[in-house]
Structure 1
Amino acid sequence: MKKLIRLYIDSYRGLSTEAWLLAVVMLINRTGSMVIPFLSMYMSSALDFTKPQVGMVLGCFGLGSVCGSWLGGWLTDRFGNYRVQASSLLFTVPIFLVLPYFKTFESLAAMVFVLTLIADTFRPANSVSVARYAKPENLTKAYSLNRMAVNLGFSIGPALAGFLATFSYDWIFYGNAIAALCAAVVFIIVFKGRKPRNHTEPLLKADRQRAEGDRNAYTDTPFIIFNIFCCLFSMAFFQLLSTLPLFYKEAKMMSEGQIGILLGFSGFCIVVFEMLLVHAVEHRFTARQVMIYGTGIAGIAYLMLNAPYGIPWLYVSMFILSIGEMLTLPFTATISASRATTNTQGAYMGFNALAFSAANIFSPYLGTYVAEHYGYQMLWFGTAAVMLFTSIGFAWILKKM
């Protein structure tokens, strides 16, 4: 027990105060993660949308995320990460409040696009903020701490949303709005006027000529290929937020409360184990090795869903999927930040966020289409196959990078 406690302490050692404060803001924001995990069930149960309509609305979610990720990176390089994060958090509040009043397919699709366009400008700005405040030797740990906060919030949010949905789906939108507002207030109080460790001013109009040696994220060929594989990974992985809740409800006959707890279990696993796991592997294996193994493990988790076992087996599958996530996602951010120069961190982190967001355009529609026409068993076989192909792709491109 003493060795385990010492290992926990070592895994958090060296993290800056600002990294912890950013994690607190992220925790508050993600505790309100109620809408997205239940959006597919809300549309199918409360609004009677067909599966293709559910997939298309979630595709609009992805399209907004793509645009928001690009816009967030562009704005961050010009106005700084503080302004972008504060604005994003504040502007999402009224959208969450009015979203329950849009009940037609067309109006909800448009509002979901607007919501994610604004909300996802936060992501590249936040990633740059972590890089600016973290100690260079602890960059991966800082990203892992931020992800731990995300997943701690995600372990609370869906469980709370499952409870609220038993009364009315409208309450999950209001809960998300309250969390975003609280996160905005805390972020502004804590970070207004605080100078980063690795300080650079936003580029003024007269100084936007790219410095000698700076790479352009959108013409960096190895990085483009890397992001294509990140997109493929997320197309498979993010079935977690689209078809997996439907699978639990329709194929396994689980209630909203049971689904919320199972989805929250994923966040709980990451909170407990991610920092330990990253601490254990980051100096023993290369980022390339870790991402190869992590992607393969995630594929195994989805393949396990085809086994004809009960709810305990679903928890085992979710635990293994969480391990794959812990081994893959922190290192994508580290690789992107390390590839960038100081003047291009916003663009690089935005491009990487865009790769994950782009998957949300196609992933929900493809997942719901396959489930509707070929069944969930074929969907999980296909998801596992994509993960295996992506693992091979990471092995190839990271060796070149």
Structure 2
Amino acid sequence: MIKYYIDSFRGLSKEVWMLALVILINRTSAMVVPFLGVYMTQALGFSLKETGVVLSFFGMGAVLGSYVGGRLTDIFGFYSTQLYSFLLTIPIFMILPELKTVYSLSIGVFVLSAVADAFRPANSVALSYYTPQEKITKAFSLNRMAVNLGFSIGPALGGFLAGFSYHWLFYGNALGELLASILFVYYFKSRMPRHQKKERSVLKSVESPYKNLRMLAFTFLCALYAICFFQLLNTLPLYYKTEHQLTEFQIGVILGYSGLFIVLFEMLIVQIAGKVMSISQIIILGTLLCGLAFVVLNLSFTHVMLYIGISILCVSEILAMPYMSTVYVQESSEHNRGAYMGMYSLAFSVAHIFSPYLGTFIVEKQSFEVLWYLTGLASLGIAFGFYMLMKKRVSAH
């Protein structure tokens, strides 16, 4: 296992490692989003429907941020876009605890996600800039490993702080953004690539990814996958709280376990999968496992099954997401990579709109059991869609 890790890390640049460290610090403080649904229902007394509405506004902001972030990255470069995304989120996190109504909090989380998600395409372009094409999947995996190492600490810490006051979740997130931005400026200010800004004439001559019909279809399928996957952040914590009567700290431990699982096994699984399967096969398998992860929750009402379910979901994430990113990098060029990575982020941002609303609607009208079965059925259809589309892509290449 150690050999696989050494092989996976070999050849990645210092800049890629430093980007991962910045993300690690940032995600270690990411306490708000995993507990946002619980915070609204427990602390603010929102109904499930009201909670779903607010979380959908979070998704709407993410859609705007992903698109604008991709465009800003192509125009101003990935350094400036990442830096200002970090800095502007700090005051927003400080303001959010003062927003107590559905209307005000919806606006607040919309602005937060719009600013925060502008970071994603810029960060993806930075990774691709500092990494040769043949190692790009490994670079994305390292970056996601940093995300999940932080996620293994953040929710557990957040659950502990929530026991005292939910406000500390927001303040802790703001502090993390500040520390990450300081490290980012310290290391990358003198290492900015020259001529990052693109001339408008160059940008106009480059084909827009939104004219690529095959990638539009791929993005649609990625969004459907993310709608299923993001039950992890929306209805799953509510399921833990209402159906299993877990405390905030216990919820944080399970979510933290998921991050630790990915840290320990992502590079190993990616290394093995890349040798024995094609990109299309890996994405399809990851999609199928996403549905299975939720269906198993209906098979046994025990705490052990909660850990089995989230372990399967982790493997789904490990297989699907890095290789989805790789597809976008392969389809793009130097001049429109920001737009392509913004397109990829857009798929997941759209899911942030529909995932909480659909999840809470189904639970309110039916039950968690129905939601988990429907998620499994949807994943089957999405996997078939990837199979048909990726088969065409292979034949086209």
TM bucket by the smaller chain? over 0.9
Q: Given the alignment of the two structures, is residue 290 of structure 1 paired with residue 287 of structure 2, yes or no?
A: no
TM-superposed CA distance for 1:17, in Å, is 1.1
CA distance in 1, matches of 2:340, 2:195: 16
Match of 2:118 in 1: 121
Deviations 1:353-388 (A, max 9, x none): 001100111110110010111000000001111111
Shift of 1:400: 1.7
Q: Indicate the residue corresponding to 2:317 in structure 1.
A: 325
Aligned partners of 1:215 and 1:340 also within 8 Å: no
Residues 100-135 of structure 1 deviation map (CA, whole Å, 9 limit, x = unaligned): 001011000000000001010000000000000112
1:261 has 2:253 as partner: yes
Conserved? CA contact 1:152–1:267, under 8 Å:
yes
What is the aligned partner in structure 1 of residue 83 from structure 2? 86
Q: Which runs of 4+ in 1 moved over 6 A?
A: none
Q: Aligned partners of 1:348 and 1:145: how far apart in 2?
A: 20
Quote the Cα distance in structure 2 between the aligned partners of 1:49 and 1:15. Answer: 46
- Shift of residue 195 of structure 1? 4.2
Q: Which deviations, in whole Å up to 9, do the C-alpha atoms of 1:55-87 show, x marking residues without a partner? A: 000000000000000000010000000000000
Aligned residue pair count: 393
- Contact 2:203/2:335, CA 8 A, preserved across alignment: no
Q: 1:6 matched to which residue of 2? A: 3
Give the residue type in structure 2 aligned to 1:205: R
Matches of 1:165 and 1:303 in 2, distance apart?
A: 29
Equivalent position amino acid for 2:243 in 1: A
Distance 2:140 2:300 in 1: 37
Match for 1:231 among 223, 227, 247?
Answer: 223
SS in 1 for 2:204: coil
Structure 1 residue 307, shift from structure 2 partner: 1.7
- Determine the structure 2 residue equivalent to 1:341: 333
Aligned pair 1:279/2:274, yes or no?
no
1:201 and 2:201 equivalent?
A: no
Q: CA-to-partner distance for each residue in 1:147-199, whole Å, 9 max, x for gaps?
A: 00001111110000000000000000000000001001101111113145xx7
Counting aligned pairs with the same residue, the percent is 48
Partner of 1:26: 23
Distance in 1, matches of 2:190 and 2:392, equals: 41
Q: Give the distance between the partners of 1:288 and 1:56, measured in 2 at CA.
A: 34
Equivalences for 1:150-229 in 2 at 5 Å? 150-196=147-193, 201-210=196-205, 214-229=206-221
Q: Give the secondary structure class of the aligned counterpart of 1:193.
A: helix
Structure 1 unaligned regions, length at least 5: none
Question: What is the identity, as a one-letter code, of the residue corresponding to 1:297?
Answer: L
Supply the distance in 2 between the matched residues of 1:278 and 1:124 (Cα, whole angstroms): 22
Letter in 2 for 1:209: K
Whether contact under 8 Å (1:200, 1:342) holds in the other structure is no
Find out whether 1:252 has 2:249 as its counterpart: no
CA distance in 1, matches of 2:308, 2:357: 27
The whole-number CA distance in structure 2 between the counterparts of 1:185 and 1:399 is 45
Q: TM-score, normalised by structure 2?
A: 0.97
Q: Is 1:149 matched with 2:143?
A: no
Rounded to whole Å, the distance in 2 between the matches of 1:355 and 1:130 is: 19
C-alpha contact (below 8 Å) 2:203/2:336 kept by paired residues: no
Say which of 299, 322, 325 aligns to 1:307. Answer: 299
Pairwise CA distance, 1:206: 4.2
Mapped contact 2:79–2:192 kept (Cα < 8 A): no
- The answer to which of 219-228 and 201-210 deviates more is 201-210
Going from structure 1 to structure 2, the CA distance change for 1:215 and 1:396 (only over 3 Å counts) comes to farther
2: CA distance between counterparts of 1:192 and 1:217?
30
SS, match of residue 176 in structure 1: helix
Q: Of the candidates 127, 132, 144, which is equivalent to residue 130 of structure 1?
A: 127
Cα root mean square deviation, aligned: 1.1
Q: Contact conserved, 1:340 with 1:348, CA < 8 A, in 2?
A: yes
CA contact (8 A) 1:18 1:134 kept: no
Cα distance between partner residues in 1 of 2:236 and 2:190: 43
Structure 1 Cα separation of the partners of residues 369 and 203 of structure 2: 52
Kept in 2, the 8 Å contact 1:217–1:347? The answer is: yes
Equivalent residue of 1:172, what SS?
helix
Whole-Å separation in 2 of the counterparts to 1:324 and 1:183: 28
